[in-house]
Amino acid sequence: MQGSRAAACRQSSECDGACLRVWHRWQEVGKFLTGFGVVGSVGVPAVLLHAGMIATGAFFLQLCSVAVLFATVLLWEYWTVQDEW
């Protein structure tokens, strides 16, 4: 219920402090999950490579998959902001 209220609040010109706090809280959750994903996608394989539990090729393959995911997110962000293609 609060998520829909925050979405409606962002679209209206009248917004109370509670609505902004809910929206800010969701932004913080998104930042945390993004950071958690970066650490899980890059940090964990780096530690495993350092410990000798995975090969160098597997590490670089993981980095390539992270780069593809990052490029996908950037392109999606770019295309959703554009008015016309």
pLDDT 10s digits, 12-24: 555 667 777 888 8
Q: How far apart are CA 5 and CA 17, in angstroms?
A: 12
- Higher pLDDT among residues 70 and 18, named by residue: 70
Do the Cβ atoms of 67 and 59 come closer than 8 Å? no
Do the Cβ atoms of 7 and 20 come closer than 8 Å? no
Task: Look at the chain and report how many structural domains it folds into.
Answer: 1
Range of the domain at 27: 2-81
User: What is the SS3 assignment for 25?
Assistant: helix
Give the pLDDT of residue 14: 59
Q: What is the mean pLDDT of the chain?
A: 82
CA 44 to chain centre: 17
**Percent of the chain's residues with pLDDT above 90:** 38
Model pTM?
0.59
Q: Mean of the pLDDT values across residues 15-41?
A: 83
User: What is the token pair recorded at 48?
Assistant: 């495993």
Looking at residue 65, its amino acid is: S
**Which of the four pLDDT bands, split at 50, 70 and 90, describes residue 9?**
low
